[in-house]
Structure 1
Amino acid sequence: MDTMLFRNSRRKLSQGLLFWREVGNGTPVVFLHGAWCDSSEWVSTMELISRNFHCFAPDLLGFGESEYPDIHHAIDLQVDCLVEFLQALKLEKVYLVGHSLGAWIAASCALKYPERVQGLVLVSPEGVEIDGQQKRWQTMRRLIKGPSLIFRFLQVFRPLAKMFGWETKIEEDLQQRRILLENPTATQLLYQRQYPEIEAELLQEKLDLIQIPVLVLQGGKDTPDALTRSKIYARLTPQAELKMIAHGEDDLPQSCASIVAEEIRGFLNKGQ
């Protein structure tokens, strides 16, 4: 079977330049990446369904090859940017497939612009409140805001930390801090805004208003928090179905692309 060619494009929108990948023909499907990735995480999945569907995967504003404007980022801003992108491409109604942060944006878009969204596939979705969420927000803020000198000190004194059994925790914190600093927009959206602002954009009180088909995909070996969020989406959204990928972890679009593609294809074919 011939491989379909990807097209890379850029478009100036009101908030900045947006980059996207595009492949295939047919019903339009827009893929939104997770917090610590860009649109490349969807390439394998898109290749597998592009014979029957016209796939678009933008780098969200402030991610990947899209512009990094000096603005206050918010979920609602990402939603409006997404809809402006759909308008620019003359896509009247689409399926949205989102992973993690992208799933939060996709579900928020379906709530704000229901006339634009035909169905949702939410992969390990963020965007609902769970126990301990505010405590994790505080922990991440400490990692971001902590003076770099402290973290350099921790790196130098790793051998001493090992003696006291602190090595694993210190290594986890240093790795998490690296990820946060390398992904400034995701870090701002999830952890650097004030908690009441983030809380106002959470969706658990609004999911009953989503009146379109929804498929929730969740890796069985992901974190307990991720499993809890997916179950909340499935329980509170009227037409939602939860499917577990037993061996999947937190990177389903990459590690389980063929299974994810098959589930997406089956969901989309039901709606045709």
Structure 2
Amino acid sequence: MADISLHYVELSNGETMAYRERMGGTRPLVLVHGNMTSSLHWDVLMEALPSEYKIYAVDMRGFGESSYHTPVDSLHDFAVDLNEWTEKVGLSSFTLMGWSTGGGVAMDFAADHSQKVNKLILLASVGTRGYPIFKKDEHGQPIMTQPLHTKEEIAQDLVQVLPILRAYETKDKDTLRQIWEMLIYHDNKPDEARYERYLDDMLTQRNLVDVDYALAFFNISREITVMGQGNGKASGITMPVLVLSGRKDRVVPEQMALDIQKDIGENACIHYLDTGHSALIDDLPGLIQVITGFIEDEEEART
């Protein structure tokens, strides 16, 4: 049984950052979760990865066991927290893996701190050009020319945001389960005890609208999107990058993986998985094989 424990670090901005750590191992791997989750959702991977990996999984500000005193406005805010956390725990060289929204945070971090990130793994990641939320028509379909620009507008979105906010407020785990089984667990589900822990974990999120706003305006490409001009930071991601795209992903379209590859460049390679948005549940053995192969092949190539 993997020895995984929960720890806390105080950041200079007054936030408390929680993280899970698996004891043992010498190959450091840092995991960054996505929206509606926390480090808890990495449990199956932390339990199953080979023992030579030293694994850390953080709770971003406003998720899980971490505090949320100051609202975020950008994924960069999370990346700044992550950088101070690496300094507090003494990590200066590691593989960084981000899932979904966490992929955006990981890309921002890797662009600013390329000397710390040996390899970058992006699992079903938001693209380099963000994830806007659009105004909906009378049928609930997005009007692609009318993005929402304010947190107030996003909070009132009747399709993507408000149902989740209401479920959080009323602790309505049945609605959360329906949403996840429509979008994520449509082929496979966690075992029931684990599923209940995941649902309880979702209810700890305090920053849904702020994260959706940050995702909408995230753009590290050089392209102009409906939300504005990108900052071009993707060109600073110089380490080997593995982009994992699920063929059955209902949350992140393939185009986002293609954008990542285009905006980062030749050091980014796409690998397709026969999974939905959670390869952790859909094909854990296959996921482990791909990520360990990527890490170990790159290490052997340098020696």
Per the shorter chain, which TM-score range? Answer: 0.7 to 0.9
The gaps in structure 1 that reach 5 residues or longer are: 152-168
Match of 1:18 in 2: 17
Whole-Å separation in 2 of the counterparts to 1:251 and 1:52: 24
The gaps in structure 2 that reach 5 residues or longer are: 136-141, 170-202, 223-231
Whole-Å separation in 2 of the counterparts to 1:231 and 1:142: 29
1:1-272 → structure 2 map (5 Å cutoff): 3-15=1-13, 16-23=15-22, 24-129=24-129, 134-135=134-135, 137-138=147-148, 142=153, 144-145=155-156, 175-178=163-166, 183-191=205-213, 199=217, 201-205=218-222, 206=232, 207-223=234-250, 225-237=252-264, 238-246=266-274, 248-272=275-299
Segment of structure 1 superposing worse, 64-73 or 262-271:
64-73
Structure 1 residue runs of 4 or more that deviate by more than 3 Å after TM superposition? 70-73, 130-137, 139-143, 172-184
8 Å Cα contact 1:180/1:187 also seen in 2 = no
8 Å Cα contact 2:59/2:65 also seen in 1 = yes
SS state at 1:103 partner: helix
8 Å Cα contact 1:32/1:97 also seen in 2 = yes
8 Å Cα contact 2:125/2:252 also seen in 1 = no
Deviation string, structure 1 residues 8-52 (Cα, Å, up to 9, x no partner): 111111231111111141111100001111111111112222411
Whole-Å separation in 1 of the counterparts to 2:134 and 2:154: 14
Distance 1:270 1:179, change over 3 A: farther
Distance 1:72 1:113, change over 3 A: same
Whole-Å separation in 2 of the counterparts to 1:212 and 1:26: 20
Amino acid of the structure 2 residue aligned with 1:14: S
8 Å Cα contact 1:42/1:254 also seen in 2 = no
Deviation string, structure 1 residues 170-227 (Cα, Å, up to 9, x no partner): xx88644546865442421223x6x9xx53x412223233211000111111137521
SS state at 2:36 partner: coil
Deviation string, structure 1 residues 41-80 (Cα, Å, up to 9, x no partner): 1111122224111000011111001112133442122111
Whole-Å separation in 1 of the counterparts to 2:40 and 2:130: 29
8 Å Cα contact 1:41/1:254 also seen in 2 = no
Compare the two structures and name the one with the higher helix fraction: 1
Q: Size of the alignment, in residue pairs?
A: 241
SS state at 1:115 partner: coil
